């Protein structure tokens, strides 16, 4: 570019041209830096070596397991040990053959409902059916890695189409690094392809508000082994979206938003305990904006994960925390944790990652908030 014009510097104009030259060079460096910044996603998507592919496959499988993609994208059935995702239909989305009746009507404080398969979700924004993530043509078969990363970053179908509805945790997943997102896509490419054309979402009118712009350059570096455990734990808590369930929402200017004064503080004690909402046909779980869930088990309330000694995890040891998520029991020895806490997904985290999550939770502002005990449903009749 401009440097070529600078080759014939004359004695007379030398000095001025030299000054001009450094300005051009400086601006070239700036451009190069900007381009490098933008080019990063491309770099992550270049044809990988065999070793890198294997590394991504393993990392992607781990992330899909611990981020509980199966919780929503694999339909649940009644197994021998109770309801569980049907792994013969792994990641194939809402079953095409399962027609859902109209969703339950709004009955405050219950604002959203989910199907027994956990693959159909209704709220004021519309009805969403969990997508088929397998490499079949009815799933992500025709997608490029770029489209996958763009969908996660923008919250739009393939990065350009309609808004992706909740509860798809886009606000959490968009905080993943390109490398982690590409790893997830690499793994999704490797799972058995399942033919299942998921029904189109029913998008409520007026709900297509554009997702707020998101700048991936603000992302913290990925959780490398040996990295600062607090930073690593923060990355995991953010990309898994613990706050989607553990931070109560409040009514802000633009509608419901996570309450910034109650980050990960659980169901507010100031709210009254709602009356249970019974299942309506296949719509079995109902949720409040404040993080209560009514289902066949009764009513559960998201726990306070802040380090408050009296009401949060302040008095817990790291070992109790790890045992809790591994065994699905309070402190690893108390009562069984109720749905929708996806502990079987978190149970698959490495010790190092669970320890890091606990280390990060330790750094949160303490919120004194005594979450109500769950309301346990009376066992169904004889
Ligand atoms: C809490 C439930 C939930 C979880 C957890 C979840 N998803 Fe989703 N996801 C959904 C629903 C529902 C949709 C359909 C949304 C719609 O149609 O608007 C969806 C849609 C998608 C889509 C399609 C986006 C598009 O552009 O059409 C992709 C890709 C996806 N999810 C990937 C993932 C991955 C990868 C994970 C795990 C890291 C994951 N999801 C975890 C519920 C979930
Ligand atoms: C889909 C919703 C959901 C998500 C996502 C979620 N949780 Fe939970 N969690 C709950 C609910 C509901 C409870 C209360 C269950 C009960 O009372 O039996 C709970 C309980 C817990 C408990 C038990 C507290 C106690 O007193 O025994 C811990 C610890 C916990 N969650 C940690 C986490 C962490 C860490 C994450 C993210 C990695 C997370 N949760 C993500 C819904 C969720």
Residue given tokens 């779980």 in the structure block: 285
- Ligand having the closest approach to the CA of 187: 1
**What is d(CA 142, CA 189) in angstroms, rounded to the nearest whole number?**
11
Residue located via tokens 């600062």: 228
Nearest CA to ligand 2 atom 9: 341
Residue 300: nearest ligand to its CA? 2
Q: pTM for the full model? A: 0.88
Note the ligand closest to the C-alpha atom of 91: 1
Ligand 2 close to Cβ of residue 347 (< 6 A): no
Q: Tell me which residue has its CA closest to atom 27 in ligand 2.
A: 330
- pLDDT averages per 10-residue partition of the chain, 382 residues: 31 35 36 38 73 96 98 94 94 97 95 98 96 98 96 93 94 94 97 98 75 72 72 95 97 90 98 95 97 97 98 97 97 94 97 96 98 86 51
Which bound ligand lies closest to the C-alpha atom of 241?
2
Q: Whose CA is nearest to atom 42 of ligand 2?
A: 341
Q: In ligand 1, which atom is closest to the CA atom of 184?
A: 35
Give nearest CA residue, ligand 1 atom 2.
72
Is the CB of 114 within 6 Å of ligand 1? no
Provide the angle, in degrees to the nearest 10, between the axes of the packed helices 351-361 and 229-240.
90
Atom number of ligand 1 nearest to Cα 188: 35
Q: What is the DSSP letter of 157?
A: G
Whose atoms come closest to the Cα of 142: which ligand? 1
Query: b/e string for 122-146 if b means 16 or more Cβ within 10 A?
Result: bbebbbbbbbbbbbbebbbeebebb
Residue nearest to atom 24 of ligand 1 (CA): 157
Residues 189 and 185: their CA atoms lie apart, in Å, by: 6
Burial tier of 68 (Cβ tally within 10 Å: 0-12, 13-18, 19+): buried
Domain ranges within the chain, ordered by starting residue: 48-219, 220-282+304-374
Element containing residue 292 per DSSP (H, E): strand 292-295
Distance set, CA 308 to CA 237, 313, 325, 335 (Å): 18, 6, 19, 21
Number of C-beta neighbours around residue 45 at 10 A? 18
Closest ligand to Cα 61? 1
Residue with CA at minimum distance from ligand 1 atom 41: 69
CB contact at 8 A, 145 and 153? no
**Predicted local confidence at residue 19, as pLDDT:** 36
DSSP-derived pairing of the beta strands 126-129 and 120-123: antiparallel
Helix (H, G, I), strand (E, B) or coil at 55: helix
The finding on whether 21 has its CB within 6 A of some atom of ligand 1 is no
Number of the ligand 1 atom closest to the C-alpha atom of 68: 5
- H or E, element range at 286: strand 283-288
Element counts in the chain: helices (H) and strands (E): 12, 12
* Residue 72 Cβ < 6 Å to ligand 1: yes
Residue 168 Cα, ligand 1 centroid: separation in angstroms? 4
Ligand 2 atom with minimal separation from the 321 CA: 29
* Cα of 234 from ligand 2 centre, angstroms: 16
Could you tell me the distance, in angstroms and rounded to a whole number, from the CA of residue 343 to the centre of ligand 2?
Answer: 7
Q: How far apart are CA 281 and CA 222, in angstroms?
A: 43
pLDDT value for 43: 57
CA of 158 to the centre of ligand 2 (A): 31
Pocket test for ligand 2, best of 337, 370, 377 (most atoms within 8 A of CB): 337
Contact 323 CB / ligand 1 (< 6 Å): no
Cα–Cα distances in angstroms (integers) from residue 250 to residues 263, 359, 370, 371, in the given order: 12, 27, 18, 17
The CB of 329 under 6 Å from ligand 2? The reply is no
Rounded Cα–Cα distance for residues 93 and 113 (Å):
17
């Amino acid at each position: 570019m401009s440097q070529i014009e600078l080759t014939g510097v004359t004695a007379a104009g030398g000095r001025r041209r030299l000054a001009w030259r450094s300005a051009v060079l400086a601006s070239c460096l700036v451009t190069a830096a900007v381009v490098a910044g933008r080019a990063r996603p491309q770099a992550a998507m270049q044809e990988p070596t065999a070793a890198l592919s294997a590394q991504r496959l393993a990392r992607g499988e781990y992330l899909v397991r611990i981020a509980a993609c199966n919780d929503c994208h694999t339909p649940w059935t009644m197994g021998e040990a109770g309801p569980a995702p049907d792994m013969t239909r792994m990641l194939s989305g809402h079953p095409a053959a399962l027609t859902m009746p109209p969703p339950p009507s709004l009955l405050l404080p219950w604002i959203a409902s989910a199907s027994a398969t956990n693959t159909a979700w209704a709220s004021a924004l519309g009805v969403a059916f969990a997508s088929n993530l397998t490499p079949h043509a009815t799933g992500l078969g025709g997608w490029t890695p770029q489209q996958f990363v763009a969908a996660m970053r923008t919250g739009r179908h393939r990065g350009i189409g309609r808004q992706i509805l909740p509860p798809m945790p886009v606000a959490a997943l968009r905080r993943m690094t390109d490398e982690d997102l590409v790893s997830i896509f690499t793994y999704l490419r490797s799972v058995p392809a399942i033919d299942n054309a998921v029904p189109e979402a029913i998008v409520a009118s007026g709900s297509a508000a554009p997702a707020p712009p998101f700048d991936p350059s603000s992302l913290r570096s990925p959780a490398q082994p040996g990295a600062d455990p607090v930073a690593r734990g923060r990355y995991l808590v953010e990309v898994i979206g613990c706050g989607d369930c553990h931070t109560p929402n409040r009514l802000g200017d633009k509608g419901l938003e996570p309450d910034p004064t109650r980050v990960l503080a659980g169901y507010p004690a100031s709210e009254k305990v709602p009356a249970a909402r019974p299942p309506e046909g296949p719509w079995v779980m109902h949720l409040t904006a404040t993080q209560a869930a009514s289902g066949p088990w009764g009513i559960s309330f998201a726990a306070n994960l802040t380090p408050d000694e009296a009401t949060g995890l302040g008095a817990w040891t790291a070992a109790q925390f790890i045992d809790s998520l591994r065994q699905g029991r309070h402190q690893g020895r108390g009562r069984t944790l109720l749905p929708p806490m996806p502990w079987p997904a978190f149970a698959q985290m490495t010790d190092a990652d669970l320890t890091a999550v606990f280390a990060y939770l330790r750094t949160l502002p303490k919120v004194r908030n005594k979450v109500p005990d769950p309301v346990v449903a009376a066992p169904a009749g004889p």
